[in-house]
Chain A
Amino acid sequence: MILLIDPRPPALQWYGIDGDRCADGQCEFSSQVCDHVTAAASHLGTVEAIGYLLYHGGETTTDSISRLNRDSLAKLKETIRFLPEHNTLTIQLVRQGLEAFPEADHFLLCDTAFFTALPAKTSHYAIPYPLRREGLKRYGGNGLCHQWIWAQVQSRCQAPVDKLISVYLGDNTDIAAIDRGKPRETTIGFTGVEGVPSATGCGDIDPTIPLYLKSSGMTFAEISRLLSRESGFTGLLGRKCSLHEVLEKEDHKTAEVREIFCHSVIKHIGALIAVLGGVDAIAFACEDLDRYRGFMLNISSRIGCLEMACGINPRREVGDQGDADVPVHMYSIPYDRKKMMVEMIRTHQHRGGDNMGG
C-alpha cells in the first residue's frame, strides 16, 4: 500500500491506499504513530511508499514531489519558519517514517513548490525591500492541485491550451493563472487567508483592519484566529458553514454569502485573465462535481459576457471536454486529492534521482 501523511497540528491525518481499497484515520502525534498506522491499515499489506505533505516549502523547495532520505532533513528544517506547527510535524513524521520503514520509498509532496516559479512582479508585495528580503512575499499554495489541473486540461483539450485559469472549488477555494505550464499569478499570497473568502478565512480585506483590531486591544493570536478561523462563510453566517451549504441553501442570508463568494471568484478570474493577457481555457476542479455544477454554470454564463463584448466565446455548457470551435473552453474536472497524490508517487517510484537535499 501507499501511505499518505497529512499534518494537521496537533493531530495528523493518514490515508492508506492499495488500489481501490483504502483506510484512513486521525491520531495525535506520538512516538508510536508508525506502529499505530501500520496496525490500523494492516489489511492493506506492507507499506511500499509514503508521501508526506509539506504545506509550505518556502523559497527553496522547488519540486512538487521529491524523494526523501536522511540527508533531506536538514534542508527540510529550513522551511519550519514558514509554517512552524505544520512543518515541524511533517519533519517529525518524516524522521519516524524513514526509521520505521527503511524498505519503503519516501516522498515529499510540497504544495508551494509549483509557485516558486512565479515572476517577481507577482510574488512581491509593494513593501520596503528589507521586509521582502525577510521572506515576506507571496508563496501561493495548493500547487499540487493546480499542476494536476494543468496536466488534466492538456490531456483533454483538442485545441492547444496555453493560457489557463485553474480554479479549485472547495472550502478553501483558490485560483491560479498558468501560461504554458508556468504559474503567472495566484490568489493565495503570504498565507491562504489572502484571496477568495473560504469557509473560515476572510479573504481579501483592507490590511489596516488587523491594525485597528490590535489597537482596540485584541491579541495577535485572537486576530489571527479571527481572520483565519472565524471569518469567511462561518463569520458571515454566524455558524459553521461549508461551501456546499453556501451554494445550495435557499434562504436570504445564505444567498447573500453566495453573492459575496461569486463576486470574489468572478473578480479574481478577471484579474488573472488580465495577467495572462487573455485566456484559452478555464478549468474548475472539485471533489464533488455534481453539487457545484449550478455554480459553475452561473460563473460561466457571467463570463459569457465576453462573447458579445470582446469576441471571446466561452461554452455556455460546462462539460468534460473542450470543443475545438470556440475560443475559450470551460472544463469541469472531478478531483480526488488522495488519488492524485498516489498517482504522483507511483510515477516517481519508477524514477531515480531528484532527491531532496541529497
Chain B
Amino acid sequence: MKVLVFNCGSSSLSYKIFDALDSEHAEVILSGKAHRVGVKSQEPSFLEFHFQGEERRDVVLLENHRQAAVLVLQFVKWKKIEIDLVGHRFVHGGSFFDGSAILNENTLKKLEACLPLAPLHNPISLSVILESLESLPDIPQYATFDSAFHSSIPTYAYTYALPRPVAEKYGFRKYGFHGLSYAYVTREAARFLGIPLDRLKLVACHLGTGGSSVAAIRNGRSIDTSMGYSPLPGLVMSTRSGDVDPMLSVYLMATYGYHPDELVELFNGQSGLLGLSGYTSDIRDIIKRLSEGDERAELAFEMYVQRVKKYIGSYVLELEGMDVLVFTDDIGVHNWLVREKICADMEWCGLILDQELNHQATDGTIADVSAAQSRVRVLVVPTEEERVICLDGLRLSGMSDDSAN
C-alpha cells in the first residue's frame, strides 16, 4: 500500500510516500520538501524531490502551500506512482478530534471550525487538503492531529482558572502541540530501551528551529505539555516569547494602544530569541556569539535553557519521577551544547549526562547520552512526524491495529 503524507509547516511543506506492508515495514520511496513557501525575501523558494536515488531541486516561486502541493502531486503523477491513501497533518483539531479521521463532508466542516485555533497552521493545512481532494478525488484521505496526542491530558492540567462560562464560550483550555512528534519519539524511546511503554515515565523536549515544547508522558500518554490554547505559551522559542504574565497583554493594549492582532504578531513573531538578542531567531547564531561575550546572546541563551529546565522540573514532580528524558527535533537532536546546559545541575532528579557521549551524538541517530550512574536515561531521538501519520493511516484502513498513540 502506498501512502502519501503531507506535513505543512508555517513556511514549508514536507511530503513522503511510504510503501507499507504493515506497521513495522514502511519504506520511504519518495520524499522532499518545499522551502520558503510564501516567504518574501531575497532568497528564492524551492522544491526538493528525493526519488530512487534521484535528487532534484527546483527553484520555483511558491506563493502559497497549495501551489507547492500542486507541484508535488504533478511529480507523483509524472513518476506514475499509484497512491492508495493520502494522510494530512493538521495541527489543531480542537476538541472535535481525539484521533485521526477519514476526510468527508462532515469532518471537513469540523476542520473549518478549527481554523482560528491555529491561525498560522490550520488554514494552510486545509488548503493542501482541498487541493489534494480535488486532484485525487477517488483516493481515501485522512487527517492526523497534533492536538490528539494531548487529548489524554487530565482535566485539572488542561483547565485554565477562568470563569467557566468564558472558557466554554471561547473553548479556552490547554490543547498542546507537537503531538505527532511526541507519539513517535515515545515509541522509539521505549523500543530502543526495550522497556514497555506502560512502564515509562518520560519527559520529552521537542526543540525545533521554529517552535519548541516539552511534554510529560506516562504510560505512553501525555499528561501535560508546555504549549496551551495556542502554540505561544511555554518555552522561549525562536520568535515566540513563551510564558508571559497574561496581564502584560492587557497592559500593552491599554497603555501603548496596541491592537490585539499586533500583539499576536509581537508575541509570536518578534519575541523569543529574536526579541532577546535583537538580531537573530536562531539559537545556533546565538551560540556562536557566546564566546564573543555578547551580553544579549548570553541572556537569550540562559533564558532558553532555564525555561526548558523549569518544565523538566515541573514534569518530574507531576510524573512523580522520571525514567527517561528525550531530546528531539532539529535543535534537540543536533545541538550538544543545548542538551549539556539543560542537563547541568539535574542530579537532584537523578539525571547525569555523559559529556563525551553527548558531544558525539549529533549525527541524527538515536543515542543514549546519559552517564552509567544516571538513574534517568537521556536519549537523543530523531523525530519523524510523517511516519506517525502513515502508521495512523494504516490503522484507519485496517492494515494494522497498532495505535499511533
Chain A residues packing against B (C-beta within 8 Å): 120-122, 124-129, 131, 136, 138, 185, 189-191, 193-194, 197, 201-216, 220, 223-224, 226-228, 230-233, 235-236, 238, 256, 259-260, 262-263, 266-275, 277-279, 302-303, 305-306, 308-312
Contact = CB atoms under 8 A, between A and B. Distances in A.
Contact of A271 (B241, B313, B346): B313
Contacts of A277: 344-348
Nearest to A271: B310
B348 A273 contact: yes
Nearest to B241: A126
Contact of A191 (B170, B245, B261, B313): B245
Contact of A309 (B241, B273, B350): B350
Contacts of A120: 299, 302
A310 B267 contact: no
Contacts of B236: 126
B242 A211 contact: no
A121 B155 CA distance: 32
A92 to B, nearest CB: 23
A269 to B, nearest CB: 6
B252 interface: yes
Interface residues of B, number: 78
B161 A232 contact: yes
| Leading 4 A-B pairs by shortest Cβ distance | A274-B313, A309-B321, A277-B345, A305-B320
A75 to B, nearest CB: 23
Given A263-B157, A266-B317, A302-B317, A224 B247 contact: yes
B172 A121 contact: no
Nearest to B274: A128
Contact of B161 (A190, A231, A273): A231
B376 to A, nearest CB: 8
B395 to A, nearest CB: 31
A267 B245 contact: no
A166 to B, nearest CB: 16
B249 A211 contact: yes
Given A125-B248, A266-B318, A206 B303 contact: no
B77 to A, nearest CB: 41
B230 A208 contact: yes
Contact of B346 (A203, A209, A274): A274
B250 A270 contact: no
B246 to A, nearest CB: 5
Contacts of A235: 161-164, 166
A270 B315 contact: yes
B335 to A, nearest CB: 18
A158 B352 CA distance: 29
A121 B306 CA distance: 8
A203 B232 contact: no
8 contacts: A124-B276, A125-B245, A194-B244, A206-B229, A210-B253, A212-B170, A215-B261, A309-B349
B164 A238 contact: yes
A124 B236 CA distance: 11
B171 to A, nearest CB: 10
Contact of A127 (B266, B302, B307, B314): B266
A202 B303 contact: no
Contacts, number: 257
B317 A233 contact: no
A271 B249 contact: no
A227 B250 contact: yes
A138 B160 contact: no
B312 interface: yes
A274 B242 CA distance: 18
A304 B96 CA distance: 38
A275 to B, nearest CB: 6
Contacts of A209: 160, 162, 170, 172, 229, 246, 249
B253 A220 contact: yes
B244 A207 contact: yes
Contacts of A207: 232-233, 241, 243-246, 248-249, 267
B250 A224 contact: yes
Contacts of A232: 161
Contacts of A191: 245, 247
Nearest to A302: B320
Identify which of A129, A211, A235, A302 gathers the most chain B CB atoms within 10 Å of its CB. Answer: A211
B322 interface: yes
Contact of A193 (B246, B270, B278, B309): B246
A230 to B, nearest CB: 6
B228 interface: yes
B186 to A, nearest CB: 19
B311 interface: yes
Contacts of A190: 244-245, 247-248, 251
B156 interface: yes
Contacts of B241: 125-127, 207
Given A233-B161, A277-B348, 9 more contacts: A129-B276, A136-B248, A208-B230, A208-B267, A209-B162, A269-B317, A274-B312, A278-B347, A311-B350
Nearest to A232: B161
Contacts of B315: 270
A238 B254 CA distance: 27
A189 B233 contact: no
A309 B375 contact: yes
Given A236-B161, A305-B317, A215 B260 contact: yes
Contacts of B87: none
A311 to B, nearest CB: 7
A266 B166 CA distance: 26
B313 A270 contact: yes
Contacts of A125: 241, 244-245, 248, 271
A193 B249 CA distance: 12
Contact of B163 (A238, A259, A309): A238
Contact of A230 (B163, B253, B306): B163
B163 A211 contact: no
B272 interface: yes
Contacts of B161: 197, 201-203, 205, 231-233, 235-236, 260
Given A121-B303, A207-B233, A231 B348 contact: no
A142 to B, nearest CB: 15
Interface string B214-236: 00000000001000111011001
B330 to A, nearest CB: 19
Given A232-B161, A238-B163, A272 B313 contact: yes
B348 A312 contact: yes
A270 B224 CA distance: 14
A211 B268 CA distance: 13
